[in-house]
Structure 1
């Protein structure tokens, strides 16, 4: 039997000088790899990565909280309205007034578009109500959670002649947001008499909407203001300062009033609200009636 010292010396690996050249090179590479791995591990150990992720989450949460108004009351205060209305006018088309030689279809084609200074963003646009006439595109980013009050003001539910009144938008919205309160106005229903088939969840007012009615809502926060009343939009929003209380506005603008009236209406609305969606009504008009969806420039999540 060999002595213990001799056995250990036989089992010991040869020195690098005794290895072939390629084996010695491989040994050095292996040593360098383990050294680099150990240094990387010491710099980015799991606790370090968790700390970095936690800091990023905290910074993101702080940023979101800073952008979100804390309560509805803050958005309807006099200071909030004054701040919003003091923002620079956002022209929807150009610095020159619209020419009477340009027809309304060409005017709408070139002006008041999404993605311009007149526009606003929305990440979750959902169709509410029917796919065709009567349905509206709603920005769900701007809606309150179930824990907060929700108020919907809807003007115009009269459908086409020979058809019953159209509450499909309100019914679909109530299905998605059952905690909302609904006030609905319609006094004419295309001159076919009063509306008698309003859903139970609706507080229905069988009269025309006007600036006088609009003033009665001064100071009240409105989450959705839907208005489709065959031209009443041109005299229903005054005073325009009260629009600062509206989170989002869904309105069909009827071009038969002409350039001056349309330009005045859109310019006033655009002071407080940006367009996040638009579509022409080509089923029942010549393309000069446009559905616009606005959201408040200082509202929820902006």
Structure 2
């Protein structure tokens, strides 16, 4: 006796279920009556998501960054209540350090990668793939210290890139560049100091960043690396104020750089004070610089135990102007 003859009702139920399943599949498939507008099953091809332009991503991320700024003010009121009352590196049970007020809340709209050696010397970069495709890209490196893995890695990736290095404590770039003729030919080294004013006859000779750009015939720096043991505060102040003074009233300052890799040394008597550091940092922000990455210098903390963690690497991108990191039409 057949299964249908033994269980007619159960057989009819199975047939109905099969029919309903086929009907649902037909109605939800791309060729069905609703043109595929029914329920999306795992094996269906979903419509492609519209890609956002870089400008749109930056606008969205800037909105999030504004919220981080409001959170900074709330934290100042909690531990201050004014900036003058905040201890940068407290030692009485407070659960914060200076760096917790200045988190890298901005999101680079491109690939972020660490360039150079692991440990002290490497830097986190935004959109390097875009920069090295340029026919010509300009790198400035202040603070060479005989180790050039960061600079050499960029030169290797970008055949059109050249680097200008400045450090009065050494005589040349490190062997990562000097031992490779193809890289050494695109590297220019000078034993100068970066400072807030020009003093060409001092020992060592000192120049502002804007002066060095003029001497080299550059109107834009794609990658600016600064590691100058505390001189970064006044040097960057001078650079920003130079372009602020050239900006029309009520206009936005547009710095001629794409991104900044900066080691901050918050051990200076002036800038180790929270109020002064805050004013300096906010000047960077007003000029359009946004931090997208940070990395504490743990090598320093490990070698000199018992000190405050006052050396930290920050990576900033410039959200203003018209360059590879903020525009897609270049």
Instruction: State the TM-score, normalized to the length of structure 2.
Output: 0.61
Structure 2 CA distance for partners of 1:214 and 1:102, relative to 1, 3 Å: closer
Q: Is the 8 A contact 1:142 1:247 kept in 2?
A: no
Counterpart of 1:220 in structure 2 is 219
The residue that corresponds to 1:150 in the other structure is: 137
Does structure 2 conserve the Cα–Cα contact (< 8 Å) formed by 1:92 and 1:112?
no
Unaligned runs of 5+ in 2: 1-6, 59-65, 77-81, 179-183, 199-207, 244-253
The alpha carbon displacement at 1:293 in A equals 1.2
State the partner residue of 2:72: 93
- 1:280 is aligned to 296
The match for 2:260 is 249
For residues 97 and 136 of structure 1, do their structure 2 counterparts lie closer, same or farther at Cα, with a shift above 3 Å needed?
A: same
Q: Within 2, Cα distance between the matches of 1:65 and 1:124?
A: 12
- Distance apart, 1:40 and its partner CA: 3.3
Does the residue aligned with 1:184 lie in a helix, a strand or coil? Answer: strand
Equivalent residues of 1:152, 1:182 under 8 A apart: yes
Structure 2 Cα separation of the partners of residues 184 and 104 of structure 1: 37
Q: Could you say what secondary structure the match of 1:247 adopts?
A: strand
Deviations 1:111-141 (A, max 9, x none): 21233xxx44466332222222222222236
**Partner Cα separation in structure 1 for residue 297 and residue 8 of structure 2:** 84
C-alpha contact 2:195 2:235 (8 A) present in aligned 1: yes
Deviation at 1:261, TM superposition (A): 4.2
Specify the SS of the correspondent of 1:39: helix
Equivalent residues in 2 for 1:81-160 (5 A)? 90=69, 93-94=72-73, 95=76, 96-99=82-85, 101-103=87-89, 107-115=97-105, 119-121=106-108, 124-140=111-127, 143-144=130-131, 146-147=133-134, 149-158=136-145
Partner of 2:283: 268
Figure out how many residues of one structure are paired with residues of the other and give that number: 250
Whether the 8 Å contact between 1:104 and 1:288 is mirrored in structure 2 is no
- Cα displacement (A) at 1:229: 0.9
Q: Structure 1, unaligned stretches of length 5 or more?
A: 1-18, 70-86, 159-164
Q: Is 1:167–2:155 an aligned residue pair? A: no
TM-score w.r.t. length of structure 1: 0.65
Describe the shift of the 1:91–1:220 C-alpha distance in structure 2 as closer, same or farther (beyond 3 A): farther
CA 1:204–1:45 in structure 2 vs 1: closer, same or farther (change >3 Å)? Answer: same
Q: Note the 1:61-80 alignment, pairs <5 A.
A: 63-64=52-53, 67=56
1:39 equivalent in structure 2: 27
